[in-house]
Structure formats: C-alpha cells, structure tokens
Chains A and B, each alone.
Chain A
Amino acid sequence: MQNFENSEKSKGVVVFAFNTETTDYVAIADHTSRLTTHTLGLPITLITDGDSQPQFAYDRVIRIEQADSNWRMLDDVRTTWRNFGRYLAYELSPYHETLLLDTDYLVLNRNLLKLFDTAGDYRLMHHNVTPAGPSYEYMGETSIPFIWATVVAFRKTERSRLFFNLIGRIQRNYNYYRSLYNIREGNYRNDYAFAIANSMISGYNLNESQGIPWRMFTIEKPIERMMLTDTQIRIYHSDAAVVVPYENIHVMDKTYLQTRDFEQVIEAICEPA
C-alpha cells in the first residue's frame, strides 16, 4: 500500500448517469448531487451520454458513448440498465482524490470525507445493513462475497489505475469471469466486477480489512414518502415506517427518487426555511 500524506490535491465526486426508457437517472443525479455538494462541499463531475440534459450546476459534465444496454429485474419486471463503463472513473475523474457514487446514494453526513484523511489507494464498501439487519451476500453459492460499488473512494495511484483497468477487463470478458467465479446472475453487475478485481489485485484475498470500515445503509422497500425533523428522517412504506438518523442512505426505489416528494425533501435539506 502506498502512503499518501499529501492530501492538499484536488478532491471531488464523480457520478455516472445514463437514462433508460423507465428511469431518468440524470434527473435523479441532479437531485442527489445537489445534496452531496450541500453536505460535503465538494465539486461533482457527471459522466453521461450525449443526449441527456443535466440541470444541476456540475463542476464538469463529461459525455461518453454508451451504446450497450444491460438489464435487471426490478419488482419482477425486466428493465433496461445502462451500467457499463464504470471502470472509466479512474481515467475520467478530474480529481486526484475521488468519491465515486451511485446516483441513488443520499449523502446526508460528512463521514465519507474521513476516507480522504487516511492513507490508501482505494476503499470499497464491503458490508451493508437494511432495516431487516446486516446483509452479506455472495455472488453465487460457491463464489466470493460481492462489494457494493455504490460508494468507492480512490486516489490516482498506480494500484488504483491497475484496479480500474482490471474492472474494464472483467467487463469486456464478463462471461469468462462469470464462469470462473461461479456467479449466479447472468447480467453484468459492477458490484461483481469490483469484487473480482479487488480479490485479484489483493492476491486472491477478500481484503475486507482495507475497505470502508462501516456498513452502508440501504432502504430496499418501495418508499411512499419521507418526512424530515431536525435530527431524524421518517421513511414511510405502504405497510410500515422506519425512523433513521441523518446518515448516508442507499435508496433502491428509483421510482420514489423521481417523485416531487423526494425533490421537496432535497429542497428542505439544502434550503431550510
């Protein structure tokens, strides 16, 4: 591991957003990026395609070709998912220290900044927790656990470059790596590619001790609405409600993230009355 005492170099956030027929990921990125900047005070670079029309004042908008589409099952419906190209984050990030975030990740506190104050090449999110409890999932019955590519912190170092190049190689040869690692699902997932690359670059070790030392909080169930108090966020589902403190939240329900209610939540946080 290299040592990076010099942290005065540029820091920023990179998000990827590519719209599909059903989901306006760029609009979601606009809202969540506004929240991220409000919370962390960092510039944000959006990586998107030539057609999208982002509304948020990004530090930079980088447009790339992305012809290929993937798919996944959401609520038992097969939907388009344009998740290729995440490995380009290393090459395209204009920052020396980068937080690579998914568009559905709500940054509500400054804990991620602590990762920039420590030595290291890249940090990954190995563990997840939901209101139902901690989850630790394998890519297949006889495979390794996957990593949540939702949040990645990295510095521009030789080891990070190699890591992202490896992810690109895994994406391009996914059928081979899928067989090699006995992966259950047929579609490409960044979570899997990151896990495989991390294992390979760490000498076929899971290397969890060098990951982000806390768990990611995920809300998996569909959300009807959110309500804010000074110290809590109340999240209402159709059959239950959960009260959470202001912590970073990974929201799986993309439909909710496109609602006016969510927009109002962001406004209330970023522009309190």
Chain B
Amino acid sequence: MTELEQLTTEIRRATDYQVNRTLLREKMQTDLHFAYAGGLFKATPELISFIHAWRSTDEIWHWGGGEDMYLEDTYSNPIHIADCAEFYRTACEHYQQIMNDWHQQHAELRKLRKI
C-alpha cells in the first residue's frame, strides 16, 4: 500500500467513526420524544429544568399553580398537564433512560474506533 493509499484508508476510518456517532445521536434525539396526555414532548434539559423551576416556585410562593399546568408540545398545542409531579417524574425517567442508553452505545462505538 502506497503512502497515499494508507492515508486515504486512515481518513476513511476516521470519517466512519464520525458518521456512526452522528447517526447514533440522530436516533437518540428521536428516542427522547415521549407521548403524554395526548401531546408529544421531547425530554430535554430545558423542559425538565422548566418543570422543576415551576414546581419550586410554587413551593416557595404557594401561589397554587403547581399541581396542574398547560405546556406547549412538539406540535405547538397547549396540553393540559393535570399532575405536574407525575409529568416531571415521567420526563426525568425518560431522559435518564435514553441518556444511559446513548452513553452505553457511544462507548461501544468508541471500542470500534480505530482512529
């Protein structure tokens, strides 16, 4: 194998890892979606933080808005969340499950990586 061929092969292998990593991320972004109360949500750090902040604010100020709320879903519809605590738990569990899965599969990809 010439030096150029060797270089080409190595670049292709390096590229392969980046492609595989991107495709894995794509799948996990899909998996982060979950259906709740007729709406479709994506379990993101922003969503989880917002619900946490909403509930914390209610605990501090006792303004009575903590048990139920309306949230905009992926389809831009306002969804009635009757039980904020349950929604928060569902979102956290879903997020944690997908991120764990992502981390595990990413580690397996790294094992395959040659460059």
Q: How far is the CA of A236 from the CA of B77 in the complex (A)?
A: 42
Q: Which of A39-47, A71-79, A207-215 contacts B (4 or more CB under 8 A)?
A: A207-215
Known: A210-B75, A214-B29, A243-B23. 9 other contacts (CB 8 A): A117-B40, A131-B19, A209-B75, A209-B76, A215-B30, A231-B105, A232-B105, A240-B12, A245-B28
- B109 interfacial contact with A, CB 8 Å: yes
A residues near B29, Cβ cutoff 8 Å:
214
- B26 interfacial contact with A, CB 8 Å: yes
B residues near A160, Cβ cutoff 8 Å:
none
- A5 interfacial contact with B, CB 8 Å: yes
Tell me how far the C-beta of A196 lies from the nearest C-beta in chain B, rounded to whole angstroms: 22
Q: How far is the CA of A131 from the CA of B20 in the complex (A)?
A: 8
30 pairs of residues in contact across A and B, judged by CB atoms under 8 Å: A1-B77, A5-B38, A111-B33, A114-B33, A115-B40, A117-B35, A117-B38, A119-B77, A120-B75, A129-B23, A131-B23, A209-B76, A213-B42, A213-B75, A215-B26, A231-B108, A232-B108, A242-B20, A243-B16, A243-B23, A243-B109, A244-B20, A244-B24, A245-B24, A245-B27, A245-B28, A247-B23, A247-B26, A247-B27, A247-B30
B residues near A209, Cβ cutoff 8 Å:
75-76
Tell me how far the C-beta of B40 lies from the nearest C-beta in chain A, rounded to whole angstroms: 4
**A209, closest chain B residue (CB):** B76
A residues near B22, Cβ cutoff 8 Å:
133
B38: which of A118, A129, A232, A245 is its contact (CB, 8 Å)? Answer: A118
Q: Which 9 A-B pairs have the closest CB atoms?
A: A117-B35, A214-B30, A247-B27, A243-B20, A118-B40, A245-B27, A114-B35, A213-B74, A119-B38
Q: Is the CB of B16 within 8 A of A217?
A: no
Q: How far is the CA of A120 from the CA of B40 in the complex (A)?
A: 11
- A109 interfacial contact with B, CB 8 Å: yes
- A3 interfacial contact with B, CB 8 Å: yes
**B32, closest chain A residue (CB):** A214
Q: Is the CB of A118 within 8 A of B35?
A: yes
**A118, closest chain B residue (CB):** B40
Q: How far is the CA of A1 from the CA of B104 in the complex (A)?
A: 40
- B112 interfacial contact with A, CB 8 Å: yes
- B34 interfacial contact with A, CB 8 Å: yes
Q: A-side interface residues toward B, CB under 8 Å?
A: 1, 3, 5, 109, 111, 114-115, 117-120, 129, 131, 133, 209-210, 213-215, 217, 229, 231-232, 240-247
Q: Is the CB of A217 within 8 A of B23?
A: yes
Q: How far is the CA of A119 from the CA of B73 in the complex (A)?
A: 11
Tell me how far the C-beta of B103 lies from the nearest C-beta in chain A, rounded to whole angstroms: 12
**A241, closest chain B residue (CB):** B16
B residues near A129, Cβ cutoff 8 Å:
23, 26
**B74, closest chain A residue (CB):** A213
**A108, closest chain B residue (CB):** B27
Tell me how far the C-beta of B15 lies from the nearest C-beta in chain A, rounded to whole angstroms: 9
Tell me how far the C-beta of B13 lies from the nearest C-beta in chain A, rounded to whole angstroms: 10
Q: How far is the CA of A109 from the CA of B109 in the complex (A)?
A: 19
Counting chain B CB atoms within 10 Å of each CB, the highest count among A118, A119, A129, A232 belongs to: A118
Tell me how far the C-beta of A67 lies from the nearest C-beta in chain B, rounded to whole angstroms: 39
Q: How far is the CA of A213 from the CA of B33 in the complex (A)?
A: 9
**Which residues 33-55 in B have Cβ within 8 Å of A in the complex?**
33-35, 38-40, 42
Q: Is the CB of B38 within 8 A of A3?
A: yes
**B29, closest chain A residue (CB):** A214
B residues near A114, Cβ cutoff 8 Å:
33-35, 40
